[in-house]
Amino acid sequence: MRSELDFSTDSGGFAPGFRSFPYDSQKVFRLALNAMAHPATVFEGDFAALFAAPPPLFPEGAALLLTLCDYETGIHLSRSLKRAEPWLSFHAGSGMTDPREAAFAAFEDISELPPLREFRWGDERSPELSAILIAGKVLDEDAPKNRPDGKRLFASGPGIEFPKAMPGTLPEAFVGEREDMRKRFPLGVDFFFTGKNKIMGLPRTTRLWYG
């Protein structure tokens, strides 16, 4: 007996993607829109039930990439995720490229993230021609919630009514680098952070600080 989220395996030898691309991608797209509209808020979905993404590509990142990318979209995967390149190319039709040319980039862990200046920031006429970066494990249940000194990470900005504590912590060097990036607004990059069946948006308009 098939459940609603069972998928066909007729994928040319690759692990299957979405069973119903319009239906499943719309669900993921709504979650992605809500996550960017409400930064630093965790949104949950049963990403693990959508398909069996080739490990170590995490299902939340795979769902976002299959939903948001197409044959015109360059993708960069971190070294640990390289095994998933053929699967993504097959299902999304996307070419793989280096960080400077990528519209989307995915990292198994935020520790793999190179300096933000290596990615597309857009330009003054077209700031939207910038990269969206996806990092896994940030929202995992066992991810640290505070710095070793006990300080919490806070966020404020459009879409956040009052300054709020982030659900996870991020490297202090990354927070500082991202704040330097915000001085170049509207240029910059945007983020999705993920954990098991969770995503959170962090657009370039959001300010981060430890307190």
How confident is the model over 100-111, as a mean pLDDT?
96
| Residue 164 resides in a domain | yes
Task: Report the CATH number at residue 202.
Answer: 3.40.50.11310
Give the domain extent around 157. Answer: 21-210
Please give the tally of structural domains in the chain. 1
Concatenated DSSP letters of 55-71: TTS-HHHHHHHHHH--T
CB neighbour list of residue 71: distance below 8 Å, 6 or more residues apart: 92, 93, 94, 95
- How confident is residue 13, by pLDDT bands cut at 50, 70 and 90? low
Task: Supply the pLDDT for residue 8.
Answer: 37
Tokens of 30: 């709504």
- How confident is residue 106, by pLDDT bands cut at 50, 70 and 90? very high
pLDDT over threshold 50, residue 9: no
| Residue 93 resides in a domain | yes
| Residue 38 resides in a domain | yes
- Say how many C-beta atoms besides its own lie within 10 A of residue 128's C-beta: 9
| Residue 13 resides in a domain | no
| Residue 15 resides in a domain | no
| Residue 199 resides in a domain | yes
| Residue 51 resides in a domain | yes
pTM: 0.91
